[in-house]
Structure 1
Amino acid sequence: MEKWAFITGASGGIGSAISLMLAQKGYHLYLHYRKGHEEIEKIKVRCEQYGIHVVLIQADLTDLDELQNIGRTISRMPDVLVNNAGLTHYGLFTETRIEDVEQLYQINIRAPFLLAQMFTPSMVRRQFGRIINISSIWGMTGASCEVLYSMTKGALLSFTKALAKELAPSQVTVNAVVPGAIEGKLLQRQFSSEELGLITDEIPMGRLGKPEEVASLVWYLIQEDAAYITGQVISPNGGWYT
């Protein structure tokens, strides 16, 4: 039987790696994006080379109407939901604006909650489903000058644990993948090459992670072999935080 996965933020580094991994494994894909039209078109072409169907869904997840309209625009509810889209914020706690609080809440907390709420009824009916929330190492440990981001990503972990308990009787698993420092444009925008070198020096493995390594973990959690794993917070971080 064909399987479908819905991936938010699919045009980014981790999102595109997850998309390609699931395409290779035969999953048909709903790929959400907001602005990266050229990037998502390239990803779509690469995924379709594996003989699967790809449906692109453009939506601003801060817009409640656009978010809620997603469920009305897809023809087949997904078996897998990967809540990968996220928004960062860097700055002093005392200078954080209410607009920043609202925006990170909408993207990092409200969107994963509402998408899961949208898709779980069909998972429950099928007695199969996988929800994977992509959080951040700062959701586990907290980070100075990233208090708002840490707070929202930490909330995503509590959501994961609670929802896992509620859906377990229906054979639907819910887990969180919590990447450490992963190569890609996000880190390059946030840190200089010198700062990235200092971060790398702190990581016992001596390197940054790769998006494909995060994607491999996501794939494992989707498989039948992982059916007894739920409510877990798993962090690929090279031993940076244990």
Structure 2
Amino acid sequence: MHPVAKSLARFVVVIVLLCLFSVGIPLEAAPSSKPLAGRVIVIDPGHGGDDPGAVGCHGIVEKDVAMEISRRVAGVLRDAGARVVLTRDGDREPAGAGGSGGGRIQAHDLARRVELANKCGAHIFLSIHLNHFSEPDEYGAQVFYQVGSQESRKLAEAIQVELNRNLIDSGRQALAGDFYVCRNSRIPAVIVEVGFLSHEEESRRLTDPAYQERAARVILQGVVNYFQGNKEVKQHG
């Protein structure tokens, strides 16, 4: 190659590289902005209808707070690319694909919620709750999973790590137990107790929209970490 042509070629390469770096485009493929694309996630706002759940400080009702947080979790999961199915919409069942539904939630409708999760081809099941205890100094978020379910344990631990790191660190760890919705789900299922309504300060935070949004994003990160660490979990077609 002629020396002038070689110098010109080098100049062009330098200009291209400078343009790439100036607009912030990495030379390697950028990570997906939709890390949950192709995932189907069921969110179960605890209680509802004629079942209020726990009643905490200042008359705060669990079913209402669980619904608000669940809606925020649904929003951030959808933004991350997931298809989200809610087991209830306010105090009523969500309408099905054929337009059915809309009935008032009954206190003992756990079987319907699990059936919905098992039939919709979901990858994971998240049941959102608020805790309550007789001792008012108990606080912090905690995730529970069905004893004997290794995948549910992995999901619970992934979310718990993020709750401790980025929401509130009370030293709590993911715990195994025996729960109807987890025991009867054919997919990894966990119960996320976002905090204690019986704790004066935490109960106020749990009704704060900004804190609810923060909790939702923390749960999102735990879910993303779970899927990224479990590449063998198959995508639904």
Q: Please report the TM-score for the alignment, with normalisation by the length of structure 1.
A: 0.39
Task: Name which structure has the greater RCO, CA cutoff 8 Å, separation 6+.
Answer: 2
Higher-helix-fraction structure: 1
Q: Please report the TM-score for the alignment, with normalisation by the length of structure 2.
A: 0.39
